[in-house]
Amino acid sequence: MIIILLLLLAYLIGSLPSGLWVGKLFYNIDIREHGSGNLGGTNTFRTLGKKAGLVVTILDILKGTAATLLGSLAIFETVNVHPLILGVIAVVGHMFPIFAGFKGGKAVATSGGLLLGYNWPIFVILVIGFFIILKMTKMVSLTSMILAIIAVVYSVIYYFTVDKDWPLVVIVLLLATFIFYRHRTNIKRIKAGTEPKVSWI
């Protein structure tokens, strides 16, 4: 019973629709009706501005971190669930949130939060890489997919040089798959040369 509660909490944490709530509470705007219609940080930046976009991105990151660390709470000390599993469930909740009609974000920020909670050096590398690659590409979607590949490469190198953490390799591959799948329409626009570009970096 406790393990079911733990898994459910991880999903509910991931399901918290930060973009939807910030938009409605502080701007009286449903961001699902604007831009890409996505609930993630990128569409929040485009629809509500930098401040709201930053807040939503941070909240989405923290969802992944909170879920990953959930099992370390004293109440769950007898439950043997790998933290990466909890993090992945939160990512699924972010993509398919029960609080927003199961239509959520694209898994990027919450996946980053999972990595922050489990292996923070890779998170730092990815954050630095985000700004460098975004500066070159001007496309958040392309940058996110490139970072997914970098994360996979990092996890494999980490496995062979530091710690044979095969769950990390498997989960990062899974997250990368999520990210590419959720960006399939972006991939089409990138190929067509119609993908929106950012101007703030």
pLDDT in tens, 93-122: 999 999 999 999 999 999 999 999 999 999
pLDDT of residue 30 exceeding 90:
yes
Q: Domain residues of the chain, as ranges?
A: 2-192
Share the mean pLDDT of the chain.
Answer: 94
User: Mean pLDDT across the stretch 53-80?
Assistant: 93
Q: What is the pLDDT of residues 140-165, one digit of tens each?
A: 999 999 999 999 999 999 999 999 99
Cα separation, 80 vs 112, in Å, equals 23
Residue with tokens 């460098």: 132
User: Mean pLDDT across the stretch 8-19?
Assistant: 97
Q: What is the pLDDT of residues 164-189, one digit of tens each?
A: 999 999 999 999 999 999 999 999 99
pLDDT tier at 199 (50, 70, 90 boundaries)? confident
The pTM of this model reads 0.94
Calculate what percentage of the chain has a pLDDT beyond 70: 100
Write down how long the chain is: 201
Please state the φ and ψ torsions of residue 65, each to the nearest 5 degrees: -65, -45
Cβ neighbours, 10 Å, residue 96: 16
- pLDDT for residue 198: 86
Cα separation, 48 vs 145, in Å, equals 24
- pLDDT for residue 60: 97
CA dihedral 139, 168, 17, 43 (to 10 degrees): 0
pLDDT tier at 37 (50, 70, 90 boundaries)? confident
- pLDDT for residue 194: 93
User: Mean pLDDT across the stretch 77-93?
Assistant: 94
User: Mean pLDDT across the stretch 41-57?
Assistant: 92
- pLDDT for residue 156: 97
